[in-house]
Amino acid sequence: MSKKIGFVGLGTMGFPMAVNLKKAGFEVIGYDAFKGIYEKASAAGITMVETLKEVAEQADEAIISMVRDYAQNVDIIFGENAILSAQPKNKTIIVMSTLDPDTMNQLGKKVEEESDLRLISAAVSGGASGAQAGTLSIMTSGSEDIVKSFQPYFDAIG
């Protein structure tokens, strides 16, 4: 059985990243606020769900966030029917948005104070072509053992 990974944000960068995870043998549980992507994502083998809460409930160990900015990350983590509404335990949110270190530290502290989740930063560089080719540069920070445990995901997309 393949591991199920949650993936939030199936836009220009996120969609090909999720497809590459699927090609690498992971089951991808996807969510995007733009419902127009659902048919395309389903056709690519991504299991699409209607709420962020469902992503958190179905993911085995990690949920990747590939949304635009800090405000969207706060919304998908802490908002109504968001990731924390599922009260997930022993999972990690991997924020792949490019946010400054102070902002990431604040977000990580807030996640750890309000839940049993961990948060690591894994900002990407390489644009849409890198996302499609699976050659993104990934700059990680967080607990070294946690970051290393997710290396198979990073290998699939970068």
Average pLDDT, the chain: 95
Q: Over the stretch 109-122, which tens digit does the pLDDT of each residue have? A: 999 999 999 999 99
Structural domain of 56: 4-157
Q: What CATH number corresponds to the domain at position 86?
A: 3.40.50.720
Cα–Cα dist 148/137, whole Å? 16
Sign of CA dihedral 48, 49, 52, 56: negative
- Is 46 in contact with 7 (CB distance < 8 Å)? yes
* Number of domains present in the structure of the chain: 1
Q: Over the stretch 34-90, which tens digit does the pLDDT of each residue have? A: 999 999 999 999 999 999 999 999 999 999 999 999 999 999 999 989 999 999 999
Q: Which pair of structure tokens corresponds to residue 39? A: 């048919």
Neighbour count for residue 124 (Cβ, 10 Å) = 21
Q: Find the helix or strand (DSSP H, E) in which 127 lies.
A: helix 127-133
- Is 55 in contact with 49 (CB distance < 8 Å)? yes
